[in-house]
Amino acid sequence: MSKLLIATTNPGKLAEFKQFLADVPIEIVSLSDVSIHRKPEETGKTFEENAILKANFYQKLTGLPTLADDGGFEIDALDGEPGIKSHRWVNPERESSDEELITYTIKRLTGIPLDQRGAKLRLVLALVLSDGNTHTVEAKIRGIVPLKPGTHRTEGFPYRSLLFLPEINKFYDKQLLTVAENEQYNHRKKAVEQLKPIIDRLLTS
């Protein structure tokens, strides 16, 4: 069975990738499975550049086809901030904690009315194959940032406590959505679904 390396240290992301690829006959391998603890310097200026950079980095280290992602939160009223700085928005010298990011976001939007608080989570996946061929896809989920964050927290996903989906009156969090709602709205699932035909064709043939 072919192997596919999922290049993330976020256990929540890894679990989602495994779930969404469960029907593809490949062996999912994590960074811990191959004892890799190094991280590339994310010098890209876009989500796509960073996703490709990470996928290339780990593919060259392991020789395995590698899937990596990059994404973040984009707030309309802040001209798309935090964008690629989503995890270093509070302090550019280090990754911020979930609570720091949630508190800072609400503070930055002080005084901005609800009808101007549109936002989206955007994600780019990069698949780098053993021969160096690269495939990228993008997905997003739009909503609004309410005046107060949700009370539920999922570690490693701070912005899901900030993105509210008015059409279903819920925050965008896997634990709060029904199975059907997760199927419909999960933007990582939407991105993976776009890549599945490529993975199926090139890795399982």
Catalytic residues: 70
Rounded to whole angstroms, the Cα distance separating 191 from 126 reads: 10
Q: How is residue 56 written in tokens?
A: 């290339």
Judging by beta carbons within 10 Å of its beta carbon (0-12, 13-18, 19+), is residue 162 exposed, middle or buried? buried
43 vs 185: CA distance, rounded Å: 30
In angstroms, rounded to a whole number, what is the distance separating the alpha carbons of residues 40 and 53? 8
Which residues have a Cβ under 8 Å from the Cβ of 22 and sit 6 or more positions away?
A: none
